[in-house]
Structure 1
């Protein structure tokens, strides 16, 4: 049981690092406007609203990489051959993603992909099971 809990934590941490790295690249491509403060939610909403398609799509790419990594790491660490740890990672990130989409102005395509992308934890799970 402890191994499964650690597997979920490791999957979430590894995925978070991947998402952070891709979103950092995204912010280099599409920097914040001058004067925006970290706690300025209205300024951040305006930034997201004005973000071009590629800037928003890169967030989905980050989620996709994070989902694959979370599923892979959680499965490898849990060592039980079951998708449970991977699915829990996906659910954790799905909840955070839905929260972000409700507080930020995101288009419908982002909602659809933002929800569906977390099924890729099962892809990471399958990759972790592949012994070849």
Structure 2
């Protein structure tokens, strides 16, 4: 049980770090408009309408890679227990949903985010997880 918990914690840490790193690259490549207050929810709604689709795609890539790396790490640390990867993927997906609720995203992005995160979780599960009886 301890190894399972450590796997989830390690997976979350790796997943968040990967997401942060890839999103940081995206912010460098596609910076938000000058003078925008990114802590204001109304300003964030405006930013989402004017940033290019490539900037949004970088977020999708970040979420995919973060969940893939996090769930894979969790499975490996937990002794290839699929449950650790699934819990990690579910928690990281919950963070993505919270982000999509907090900051309005276009419909195509929401659909793509669900597909990308589920695909990442599935790949990690198949590659590194084994169901234990």
TM tier relative to shorter chain? 0.7 to 0.9
Shift, 1:72, TM fit:
1.1
Q: Is the 8 A contact 2:70 2:88 kept in 1?
A: yes
Helix, strand or coil at the partner of 1:35: coil
Shift, 1:38, TM fit:
4.7
Name the counterpart of 1:124: 124
Shift, 1:86, TM fit:
0.7
**2:118 aligned with 1:106:** no
| Stretches of structure 2 lacking an aligned partner (at least 5 in a row) | none
What pairs with 1:1-132 in structure 2 (closer than 5 Å)?
1-79=1-79, 81-119=80-118, 120-128=120-128
- Looking at structure 2, the residues matched to 48 and 13 of structure 1 have their Cα atoms a distance apart, in angstroms, of 27
Aligned residues: 128
Shift, 1:32, TM fit:
2.3
More displaced, 107-116 or 55-64? Answer: 107-116
- Looking at structure 1, the residues matched to 67 and 104 of structure 2 have their Cα atoms a distance apart, in angstroms, of 23
Which TM-score applies when normalising by structure 1?
0.87
Which TM-score applies when normalising by structure 2?
0.86
Shift, 1:113, TM fit:
1.7
Helix, strand or coil at the partner of 1:33: coil
- Looking at structure 2, the residues matched to 37 and 107 of structure 1 have their Cα atoms a distance apart, in angstroms, of 20
Helix, strand or coil at the partner of 1:113: helix
Q: CA RMSD in A?
A: 1.6
